[in-house]
């Protein structure tokens, strides 16, 4: 399904009945990453959205801020007449979810940050994104191939070779402008530590102890500062794949807790 938004189309999928869950993918991913997970949650109404510049959703400009992505998500939810939902955001999708908490707080019943953070980019990380933009401009396919493999814990790259190739194939469909706009948007995002801390409904962080993108010690610090529960997984940045069974079990437990607390 698609809808028109500021002259572009936003692609989304919606299935099932019950409590609303919004799934937001990470950088270089798209809504299809959630297909296997959604199939395990028939008792919920699951909504997965291609964020700006990703999947089949178009580009709005040279910088896609997390706020702009959040506004696009809310446009879809308004069209579906969804007044509130549980948000599950992987990596960049977590950044977008935090923008929704910050700007549309009443629309969020629960928040799961999956391999994501409320911290802004460090200066070192900003430099890495600028360097990535230079590489992308010269050879986008080489960049996406390298970037995807580096999301997994080193010991898992051979084990998940088939899955990595599938993700690379999907990532290769991301336009050059979509990649650059997202990198620029992630680079300029602000801290949402206080947003996470002040969010009083059920919230949780899922983090990989060997995440090559987000150091686990940072997640531990964030958990304490934001007073948010932290669950660790023995793997990298792709917890939903590297620890698929454990992830699904913990996800279902979180969803049950949110429903009980409502």
Residue-level pLDDT at 131: 95
Confidence bin at 91 (pLDDT 50/70/90): very high
At residue 8, the 3 state secondary structure works out as: strand
Tell me: the pLDDT tens digits for 179-233? 999 999 999 999 999 999 999 999 999 999 999 999 999 999 999 999 999 999 9
Other beta carbons less than 10 A from residue 10's beta carbon: 23
Residue with tokens 């007073």: 227
Residue-level pLDDT at 260: 55
Q: Yes or no: say if 207 and 217 are a contact pair by the CB < 8 Å rule.
A: no
**Separation CA 47–CA 44 (nearest Å):** 9
Other beta carbons less than 10 A from residue 122's beta carbon: 10
Tell me: the pLDDT tens digits for 1-11? 999 999 999 99
Q: Is the dihedral of CA 205, 208, 209, 214 positive or negative?
A: negative
**Separation CA 211–CA 221 (nearest Å):** 15
User: What is the domain range of residue 119?
Assistant: 2-261
Task: Give the residue-averaged pLDDT of 248-256.
Answer: 96
Q: Provide the number of structural domains found in the chain.
A: 1
Confidence bin at 92 (pLDDT 50/70/90): very high
Domain harbouring 141, CATH code: 3.40.50.1820
Residue-level pLDDT at 259: 75
The helix or strand, by DSSP H or E, that contains position 36, with its residue range, turns out to be helix 35-38
Nearest to 37 by CA among 84, 82, 93, 79: 93
Residue-level pLDDT at 85: 97
Rounded alpha-carbon distances, angstroms, from residue 90 to 34, 98, 221, 237, 262: 10, 11, 19, 9, 23
CA neighbours within 13 Å on the CB side: how many for 61?
9
Q: Beta strand 85-90 with 108-114: parallel, antiparallel or unpaired? A: parallel
Rounded alpha-carbon distances, angstroms, from residue 34 to 17, 162, 257: 17, 17, 21
Tell me: the pLDDT tens digits for 126-154? 999 999 999 999 999 889 999 999 999 99
The residues with which 12 forms a beta bridge, in sequence order, are 49
Tell me: the pLDDT tens digits for 28-46? 999 999 999 999 999 999 9
Reply yes or no on whether the pLDDT at 244 is more than 80.
yes
Mean pLDDT of the chain: 96
At residue 26, the 3 state secondary structure works out as: coil
**Separation CA 232–CA 239 (nearest Å):** 10
């Amino acid at each position: 399904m698609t809808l028109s938004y500021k002259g572009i189309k936003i692609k989304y999928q919606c299935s099932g009945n019950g409590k609303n869950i919004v799934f937001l993918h990470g950088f270089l991913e798209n809504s299809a990453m959630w297909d296997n997970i959604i199939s395990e949650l028939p008792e919920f109404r699951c909504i997965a959205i291609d964020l700006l510049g990703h999947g089949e959703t178009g580009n709005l400009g040279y910088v896609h801020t997390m706020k702009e992505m959040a506004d696009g998500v809310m446009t879809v939810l308004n069209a579906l007449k969804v007044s509130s939902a549980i948000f599950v955001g992987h990596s960049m999708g977590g950044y977008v979810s935090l923008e929704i908490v910050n700007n549309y707080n009443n629309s969020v019943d629960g928040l799961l940050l999956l391999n994501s953070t409320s911290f802004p980019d460090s200066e070192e990380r900003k430099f890495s994104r600028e360097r990535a933009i230079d590489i992308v401009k010269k050879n986008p396919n080489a960049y996406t191939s390298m970037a995807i493999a580096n999301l997994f814990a080193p010991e898992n790259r051979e084990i998940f070779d088939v899955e990595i190739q599938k993700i690379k194939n999907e990532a290769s469909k991301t336009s050059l402008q979509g990649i650059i706009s997202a990198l620029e948007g992630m680079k300029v995002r602000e801290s949402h530590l206080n947003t996470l801390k002040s969010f009083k409904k059920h919230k949780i962080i899922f983090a990989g102890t060997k995440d090559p993108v987000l150091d686990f010690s940072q997640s531990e610090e964030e958990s304490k500062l934001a007073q948010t529960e932290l669950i660790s997984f023995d793997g990298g940045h792709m917890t939903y794949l590297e620890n698929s069974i454990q992830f699904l079990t913990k996800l279902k437990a979180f969803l049950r807790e949110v429903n009980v607390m409502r």
